[in-house]
Structures are given as structure tokens and as C-alpha cells.
Structure 1
Amino acid sequence: MKKLIVFILLVLNFSFLNAQTYQEWVHKADSCSRAKNYKLSVSYYSKAFKIEQKSFVDFYHAGCSAAMAKENKKAFKWLNLSIDKGYENISHIQIDPDLTSLHSEKEWKKAIDKLQKKVDAIGANSDKLLEKELALIYADDQEIRGEFMNVYKTPNPDKKKLDSIGKIMDRKDSINLVKVMKILDERGWLGKNVVGIEGNKALFVVIQHADLKDQQKYLPMMREAVINGKADPGNLAYLEDRVALREGKKQIYGSQSSKNKKTNKICIAPMIDPDNVDKRRAEVGLGTMAEYAAKMNIEWDLEAYKKELAESEKLQNSKQ
């Protein structure tokens, strides 16, 4: 009997030591997806969702992996759960190449109709004129940045062309900032129910692209808007990080990049407590640092990052 108890305790202890957290399963799933091993990605997402079912972002990515793995039943299940838990970007879902294989299925129309009803309900009592104005501002902001990135990502980007686009971008940003500041000063931070999804995003992106003094002015307003459900906490995280770095502090969520002076490579800018950054990011609905870095084509190695950060701080302190 004693031997049996010892055996059971050993098994339980082994199981405990080998237990994976939700974030660990999701990280494995995302890594497999980037490696185009979609079947294994789906398997890991399934394990993650047995532990927790909260993040619409994770459900959306899982739906994409399932679609690529030709597991359509799971794809639609997870996409619908993503919509139920907060997904609202109807323009993106319809052009996402990972989901193209689902378009011919009858369940696809049902999912899109469901999402459209949700989006329509959000803006049912919106200020239509203001919503249209802000949607145009959002499109203006994103279009010029898309043009800039298309040139920037070419093997040998044309510096003159980048400078030219940059000047146009600055001019557009200045015009858009005047319009958005007037709205914020007169009416405060307006939620999606008033200005629609893109209108609400416009308020954020224009302030995100403003100078420091204007970011500092409207940061408290956005914090309050998040508390009241009028702004996205993930967007606030980006603004918090940008302001912190501009003030000479470390960022909190790792959303901002900078150029390493030694290697001349783009890297994640200095942040507080790197060990727990994924936990902080999860709290505001952002994916892991590994996922974010991969999208930005940045190499992410936590231990290497901490070492470089410590060396940088040591060098900086020696100069003071």
C-alpha cells in the first residue's frame, strides 16, 4: 500500500511539473502557425482552450490555424467564439488570406452576418456625420503609413521617396490632429457606440502619432475612457509605452521598437520587468512578445534581451 501511495505521488508530481499554462500552449500554437505546421498549432490551441476561454484574439488566430489545416468545423467554432468574446474587425476578417478557404462554406456567410449585426448594433445610435468624418481621418492616417511601409520594406528603399512620403505624412498628421483635438476638447473621448469602430480607432491613432505634449494632454482622458469602456486597453498600452519612452522612462508593454546602436538592428526598446511582460500584455488583450516581435521581424530572446538591457544600463550609468 505504501509503495502504491508513493507511486501515485510521483505520478502526480510529474504531471504537475510538466503541466503547461494557457500562455505556454498559446505560445506553442503561434510558433507552429508561423512555421506553417497548422495541424500541430490546432492541437496546441485545443489544449489551451481547455484551460481558459477568454481572449477573442487567441480564438481568432486559432480559427486561422484551423482553416489553414483544413479543419473547417473547428475554424468556424473558434471564429464564432472570437466574435462572441469581442472580435469586431469585419473589414479585416473578409480579406484575411488565412480564411479564404472558408468563403465557399455556408457557415461563412452565417459568421459574417453575425459579425455585421454586432457591428451594426454598436453603431445603431451613433453620430453618423461624426462617424463618417473620423472614419475618413482613420483611412487617411493608415493609407499614408501603408504607402511609407511599402517603400521602407523594399530591399533598397529609396531615401528621397521615403523623405517625400514622410513630409506628406507629417502634414496630414497635423491637419488630422487639429480636427481630433477639437472633437476631444468639446466632447471628450467618444466610444464605438457614438463614432463607430473606425471612428473610435481614429481618436487613438491620431493622438498616437502626435507630439509628446499633446500625447501627455490626452493620455489621462484615454485612461478614463478605458475604465468607462470607451477605448481599447490594448491601444492605451501603446500610448502609455510611447509617452514613457519619450519622457526618458522605460516602456511597460514592449510595444515600441528602437535601433540598437551597436548592431544597427531594430530591437524592442527598453522596458520594465521583462520577465513579466507577457502577463502585462495579456491583461490588456495583447499577444505575447514573441508573437509581436515576429510580426515586426525582430528577433526575440528574453535572456539575450535582459543581458543587452543590463549592459546598456551599465554603460549609461558609467557616463553619468
Structure 2
Amino acid sequence: MRKFYVFILIYVLFGISFSKAQSEVYLHLIKTADSLFYFKEYKKSTYAYTWAFRVNNYRSTLNDRYKAGRAWSQYGVPDSAYFHLLKIAEQGNFIDYDRVIADEAFKPIQNDPRWVKFTNAVKQNHQRAEANLDQTLKAQLDTIHDNLLHWHAKLDSVKRKHPKDSIKIAEITKTVSYKDSLYKEIVTDLWKAIGWIGPNVVGKKARDAQFYVLKFASLYTQKKYYPLFKKAVKDDFATLEQMAIIEDIMALKQGKKQIYGTQLAYDNKGNYYLQPIESQTKTNQLRAEIGLIPLEEYLKDYGID
């Protein structure tokens, strides 16, 4: 507590507003809570979330409240877990039903009768949101999402299975480049007109289509729209994992080492390898802060020891 007041005093002395100081402390505490949860320090994690909400006058994002509910669930205090979960479901119109149902962090509290109340509320929010989506824009972005993933997966498959088939790789690369360029023009026109489009307007899949367009774009385009993307992350219109991927890609394109260790490549035999990272210890700490699994576990999924 003493450290908190010292931190605020420093901000005031340097001419920074109290509201900005609150915001900075809030973000710092949320990062700390996320990291503690990642390392299974659930009790300490709940305290950090609680202090974050207190210093920010109990204002928070839906996602931060959701994470607090997860922490309290894992700590074994269902009353506190449901305080946050019912708040986001009934007052915040939280809509991510698929995420809730798949989240194993809630297993300790699923036998509580409030689980049905919470999940039903989220499901109803989701259904209402789906009914109010911009169906025309959603269909357009859904198609972009599916086509981008299809063609990039096809290219990756050929590179892995037939790394010496330069003709086939060149043929598919040409198609992929055309698709990337075409969809970049469509989506950047949307960004210029209305900004980054949230899942509340087009749904999650269409939201993610914008991320993939940025992921496969040139460095010039990534730099140009990075501020818009960063704001989308802040507004929960894009995810922290997506932010990590974009930042790693941009770093590598500029000859730097990646920060989060999200980017792999293939050798001439089609085997995966990790592209350069700053430091494994630092990378794991940063991954923990945004909820990514340890680098070692991530690499095992790709056959990298």
C-alpha cells in the first residue's frame, strides 16, 4: 500500500495527472495479477486484481473482471468468483459463451447452482448480440478469414512436406500474395472509414479476419495501422496474444529479435525451428503477463526440444 502512494506521489511531482497515475497503476496491477495466475499463485493473483479495481475506482474492462473470476475460482472462493462473473454477465452484457464453456479454470465452481445462472445469462447475451450483428459486413469478413487461413495453411503444408518443390511453392505463393493484397485493400478501406471493427458488430470470426490481414501484410502496412490495432487490443476488439504475434513479426522484419517467441520457421527439411528471441527467461515472463503458455510447452507442440 505504501508503494502505491509513493508511486502516485511521483506522478504528481512530475506533473502527471492523478487520473493518469490511476490508469498506470491499474494496468501494472492487472499485469501482475495475470502473471501470478500464470504461475498458479492464485491467492496473490486475486489480491492483485482486487487492488487494481480499487485504485481505478472499481472501473474495469469485462475481460479483467472475467480473469478475476477465474482467479477466485482457482483459489476456491466461489462467492468472490461469482461476484465478478455475474457482474459481467448481468451488467456488462458479456457475450463470449464459447470461451466460458471451454474454460477449465471454472471447473472448481461448476457444481454451484450459480454456474447455470451465469452461463445462461452469457448465452442469452450472445444470442442477442448475434441477432444484432451487421450480417453483410460479417459475411464479407468471415469469407476473408476463411480464405486467408485456407491459402496460408496450404502454403505452409507444401513448405513442410515438399520443401524442395520450388515450382509448387512459387505457384501457391503467387496465389497467397494476390489474396493478401486483395483483402488488405478491402480491410484497410474499412479501417479508414470506420476503424477497427469489434466483435459486437461482426462477431469473433470476422473480428479475427482483421488480425490475419494485418499479420500477413507488409511491414509498411503493419507500422501504419499498428496504433489502430493497439487501440483495438485496449478496447478488447483484439487479443493480447494477437498483439504478441504482430509485435514479434514486426521485430523480425526489422532485423530484431522477437519478444514473445511466437514465430517459427522451417529449415530445408521442412522441420520447425524457433526464430531468434531476446532471452528465454525474459520471453517466458512476458508470455506469462499476457496469459501464454511457457515457451518450452509451446515448442513441444511443434516437435522442437
Q: TM-score range by the shorter chain?
A: 0.5 to 0.7
- Greater relative contact order, per chain length (Cα 8 Å cut-off, separation 6+): 2
Cα distance, 1:215 vs structure 2:
0.6
Distance 1:264 1:124 in 2: 45
Give the corresponding residue for 1:317: none
Distance 2:129 2:304 in 1: 36
Give the corresponding residue for 1:250: 257
Cα distance, 1:195 vs structure 2:
1.6
Give the corresponding residue for 1:187: 194
Instruction: Name which one, 1 or 2, has greater alpha-carbon Rg.
Output: 1
Give the corresponding residue for 1:296: 302
Cα distance, 1:113 vs structure 2:
8.1
Give the corresponding residue for 1:151: 158
**Gap runs ≥5 in structure 1:** 1-21, 28-46, 61-80, 95-109, 300-320
Q: Deviations for 1:241-265, whole angstroms, at most 9, x for unmatched residues?
A: 111111122221111124679x996
Q: Deviations for 1:221-270, whole angstroms, at most 9, x for unmatched residues?
A: 11111112221111011001111111122221111124679x99642222
Give the corresponding residue for 2:146: 139
Q: Is 1:277 aligned to residue 279 of structure 2?
A: no
Distance 1:152 1:271 in 2: 23
Cα pair distance change 1:298/1:129, threshold 3 Å: same
Distance 1:118 1:149 in 2: 38
Give the corresponding residue for 2:111: none
Given residue 291 of structure 1, which amino acid in structure 2 is its aligned partner? E
**Matched residue of 2:288: which SS?**
helix
Distance 1:266 1:174 in 2: 27
TM-score w.r.t. the length of structure 1 is: 0.57
Cα pair distance change 1:246/1:277, threshold 3 Å: same
Given residue 304 of structure 2, which amino acid in structure 1 is its aligned partner? I
Give the corresponding residue for 1:313: none
For the Cα contact (< 8 Å) 2:36–2:44, is it kept in 1?
no
For the Cα contact (< 8 Å) 1:240–1:252, is it kept in 2?
yes
For the Cα contact (< 8 Å) 2:142–2:205, is it kept in 1?
yes
Distance 2:266 2:141 in 1: 33
Cα distance, 1:48 vs structure 2:
7.6
For the Cα contact (< 8 Å) 1:151–1:158, is it kept in 2?
no
**Matched residue of 2:260: which SS?**
coil
Distance 1:147 1:218 in 2: 27
Q: Deviations for 1:129-170, whole angstroms, at most 9, x for unmatched residues?
A: 11111011001101112223333443x456132322221111
Cα pair distance change 1:241/1:122, threshold 3 Å: farther
Cα pair distance change 1:264/1:153, threshold 3 Å: closer
Cα pair distance change 1:162/1:232, threshold 3 Å: same
Q: Is 1:204 aligned to residue 175 of structure 2?
A: no
For the Cα contact (< 8 Å) 1:177–1:206, is it kept in 2?
yes
Give the corresponding residue for 2:174: 167
Kindly tell me the number of residue pairs found equivalent between the two proteins. Answer: 231
C-alpha RMSD of matched pairs (Å): 4.5
Q: Which moved more, 1:204-213 or 1:239-248?
A: 239-248
Distance 2:133 2:158 in 1: 37
**Matched residue of 1:267: which SS?**
strand
Q: Is 1:234 aligned to residue 241 of structure 2?
A: yes
**Matched residue of 1:214: which SS?**
helix
Distance 1:89 1:145 in 2: 28
Distance 1:287 1:245 in 2: 21
**Matched residue of 1:219: which SS?**
helix
**Gap runs ≥5 in structure 2:** 1-33, 50-63, 71-84, 103-116
Give the corresponding residue for 1:178: 185
For the Cα contact (< 8 Å) 2:145–2:209, is it kept in 1?
yes
Cα distance, 1:118 vs structure 2:
5.4
For the Cα contact (< 8 Å) 1:90–1:115, is it kept in 2?
no
Distance 1:264 1:127 in 2: 42
Q: Which moved more, 1:179-188 or 1:266-275?
A: 266-275
Given residue 175 of structure 1, which amino acid in structure 2 is its aligned partner? L
For the Cα contact (< 8 Å) 1:219–1:240, is it kept in 2?
no
Cα pair distance change 1:89/1:145, threshold 3 Å: farther
